[in-house]
Amino acid sequence: MPTSENIRTSLIGLDREALKTALIAAGVSQKSVAMRVNQLWNWIYVHGARDFASMTNLAKDFRTLLENSFTLERPQIVTAQVSEDGTRKWLLKTGAGIEFETVYIPEEGRGTLCVSSQVGCTLNCRFCHTGTQKLVRNLNPDEILGQLLIAKDALDDWPSTAPGRKVTNIVMMGMGEPLYNFDNVKAALAIVMDGDALALSKRRVTLSTAGVVPMIARAGSEIGSSLAISLHAVRDEIRDAIVPINKKYPIAELIEACRTYPGASNARRITFEYVMLKGVNDSIADARALVKLVAGIPAKINLIPFNPWPGAPYECSDWSQIEKFAEIVNRAGYASPVRTPRGRDIMAACGQLKSESVKVSAAARAAREAGPVDPREQTKAASQSERPEGEAMDKIQSGQLARMPQ
């Protein structure tokens, strides 16, 4: 039975038009609705209001109307971890079996939030831990934005317009492929980049894709954020093996989409991410081929030391090899920062995110929500997730990762 709690509509993630429609349906007059939308927008996204009672400049009866129909609830925090290097990771939950992670990386003068777009992933990149978790479902706009709201709450980072903000950058580099959840990512990022809402400029918001080529131009014209490409190899036979989406959209098509990306310029370069895998893609010949491949594109190349995870079939390149590789890229005129691994001790570094959520059938989910779990369903669900085994799994269960969804 739905409770009065969960039939209230969340206002988080609605655009202004949808917010207006929701308010009118709840009884707000046409005459005052534009003003009400502005007031709510400001409370929710500039001040981070978590309930209607705190909106002190709104009339009491209007606040009561809001309370009766709507909610501003955040995702539930399942675990909050802090790395020895200050990186923070939250495991969040928005329903039975819907768990996802978000990571905050503080640096000198800036703080980056790494946001998830899906629970699990369909891409199966061989070096990526998230890739071992089957897709459960796309995250909704409120769940994508909820990650930022939770981080800002925890960091005491309101109002959004204050100087010295703690979350200064957003990267869509958490769990999932953002361009396979285009509409919801677009809706959430529009609010992130709205100057009257979370107010992060488009230069400070980066969407990373493994190469969903047909969506890249749309991302440029409709979302307008900065773009990062998970390139990771310069020859199709290697990229086919480590980033399987390459079989569908090979390197030449991907590079062509980057050449024509709307809004790319020397001031707004495309980032090419390149994970350093020992003996796989890290030769000097690969480095030379890489600079040839991106020639003519306003680009920077981000070398990512491979972050290990239990059962991963790769090793990180030797440091000396990473340096040689970076030097070639650098000498060709490209910035080639080596990404410092952050939060490895809490499995929060690039490619280490994963939750224990598994896709279950609607019937099994309903049964699970209604009462005691049928052990047969439990076995079925468990067998669908490819869990790392043995000692490594124990390590994860002892706190590096999530709990099983209840």
Interface ranges with ligand SAH (CB under 6 A)? 123, 125, 127-128, 173, 177, 208-210, 230, 273, 275, 304, 306-307, 350-351
Compute the distance between CA of residue 24 and CA of residue 251 in angstroms, rounded to an integer. Answer: 49
What's the closest the beta carbon of residue 139 comes to ligand SAH, in angstroms?
13
3-state SS class at 291: helix
Question: 240 is written with which tokens?
Answer: 């086919």
Whichever of 123 and 291 has its CB closer to ligand SAH, that residue is 123
**Nearer residue to ligand SAH within complex by CB, 239 or 368:** 239
Minimum distance from CB of 367 to ligand SAH (Å)? 32
Q: In whole angstroms, how close is the CB of 257 to ligand SAH at the nearest point?
A: 14
CB of 231 to ligand SAH, least distance (A): 8
Distance of closest approach, residue 353 Cβ to ligand SAH, in angstroms: 8
Bridge-partner residues for 302, per DSSP? 273
Residue pair 309/128 in contact (Cβ under 8 Å)? The answer is no
The C-alpha atoms of residue 302 and residue 231 are separated, in whole angstroms, by 10
Report the catalytic residues. Answer: 101, 350
Please give the C-alpha separations between residue 402 and each of 97, 138, 366, 392, in angstroms, as whole numbers: 11, 19, 23, 14
Nearer to ligand SAH, 99 or 273 (CB): 273
Q: Minimum distance from CB of 354 to ligand SAH (Å)?
A: 10
φ and ψ at 231, to 5 degrees?
A: -80, -60
Q: 19: which 2 tokens? A: 């917010």
Q: Kindly tell me which of 127 and 261 has the beta carbon lying closer to ligand SAH.
A: 127
List the beta bridge partners of residue 107.
110
Give the residue with the Cβ less far from ligand SAH, 16 or 202: 202
CA gap 38, 33 in Å, rounded: 9
- Contact indicator for 78, 96 with CB cutoff of 8 Å: no
Closer residue to ligand SAH (CB): 351 or 388 = 351
Q: Which of 170, 175, 168, 182 is nearest to 216 (CA)?
A: 182
Enter the tokens of residue 85: 């290097």
210 vs 199: CA distance, rounded Å: 27
